[in-house]
Chains A and B, each alone.
Chain A
């Protein structure tokens, strides 16, 4: 299997099928990263397309110096941050929380499990939103996207030690905020 870098170099040489292959590999990851970042399902698809358009546009200038995924997630982070900042000027957090990303059908009976999952998504999103930007990004990249500390450090343009500190501090804050859901004794305990 060709590496991401090889595919990107083929794209640079004008082979669009190589870029389609790259999208097949990474589109879902970027889409979900943006979705978790913004909590807005309908915008996530447009933003993911915007990320790949930016990558495609800059393919002619691509130099295989860093891992492709760190470059990709750096762009995805910038696109998400810009969108969230623009959106926050107009939309309140409550409105964002209301949009849980699911299309509801009042005719369908909603099971307890679905209600619980919806509730948990809201709670987690709210808790993540309270974290400082870098702690939130570090946790999202390490936890959800499976990036290593080194790769996350490249995305955030900081040291590996700083990333570890961001993850650690963010995790401690999340433990405090989500305590009722973590003990195993509360209403939502696991």
Chain B
């Protein structure tokens, strides 16, 4: 292995993460390579150097501060009476857009819907009703014609003065 490959393995080597074969080849390389040896020294030192960052101590009243904040937080989060309405914020853009859509819909509907006053066709219900009246009249006329040969129905003289 060359120095580049060895350097890749040195951190794992220093952590004891290497297998027997790799560990042996790293150690034999380190015996003969001063550059890699000093690199190993530097990587080990780096971890020690990072210790130089200090630690800070928490405030002595960190717990009571936390519970104070949590209490305030709880009040804020608790849904109160009519809180839903309070939370509603008027969105004028949305309201304007909705109103525009509503107006456009009404205008479009009015323009496209047929004018029934001048139409040749009436609504289907009215049409059906007229057909039924016409049929009824036709049947009545036909029945009257057929029965007329027997004269008037009330047993008296017919309209023409004949005897039944």
Interface residues, chain A, CB within 8 Å of chain B? 16, 20, 23-24, 27-28, 31-32, 35-36, 41, 44-45, 48-49, 52-53, 56-57, 101, 117, 120-121, 124-125, 139, 143-144, 164, 167-168, 171-172, 174-175, 178-179, 181-184, 190
Measured CB to CB, the closest approach of chain B to A80, in angstroms, equals 15
Please determine whether A124 and B66 come into contact, CB atoms closer than 8 angstroms: no
Please determine whether B53 and A36 come into contact, CB atoms closer than 8 angstroms: yes
Please determine whether A101 and B63 come into contact, CB atoms closer than 8 angstroms: no
Given contacts A49-B65, A182-B46, 15 further A-B contacts (CB under 8 A): A23-B66, A44-B56, A45-B62, A49-B62, A49-B69, A53-B66, A117-B52, A120-B52, A139-B50, A144-B53, A164-B12, A174-B46, A181-B49, A182-B41, A184-B41
B145 at the interface (CB under 8 A from A): no
B29 at the interface (CB under 8 A from A): no
Q: Say whether, besides A56-B70, A181-B49, A121 and B43 are in contact (CB < 8 Å).
A: no
A45 CA to B77 CA, complexed, in Å = 23
A172 CA to B11 CA, complexed, in Å = 9
| Top 8 closest pairs, chain A to chain B, by CB | A182-B42, A120-B52, A182-B45, A175-B42, A32-B55, A31-B58, A168-B11, A35-B56
Which residue on chain A has the smallest CB distance to residue B57?
A: A28
A-B contact count (CB 8 A): 92
Measured CB to CB, the closest approach of chain A to B38, in angstroms, equals 7
A182 CA to B73 CA, complexed, in Å = 48
CB<8 Å pairs between A and B, sample of 6: A27-B58, A53-B69, A53-B73, A171-B11, A182-B41, A183-B42
Q: How many residues of B contact A (CB 8 A)?
A: 32
Q: Say whether, besides A124-B50, A175-B39, A49 and B66 are in contact (CB < 8 Å).
A: yes
Contacts of A117 in B (CB 8 A): 52, 54
A131 CA to B137 CA, complexed, in Å = 99
A167 CA to B58 CA, complexed, in Å = 28
B7 at the interface (CB under 8 A from A): yes
Contacts of A57 in B (CB 8 A): 73, 77
Q: Say whether, besides A41-B56, A124-B50, A172-B7, A23 and B62 are in contact (CB < 8 Å).
A: yes
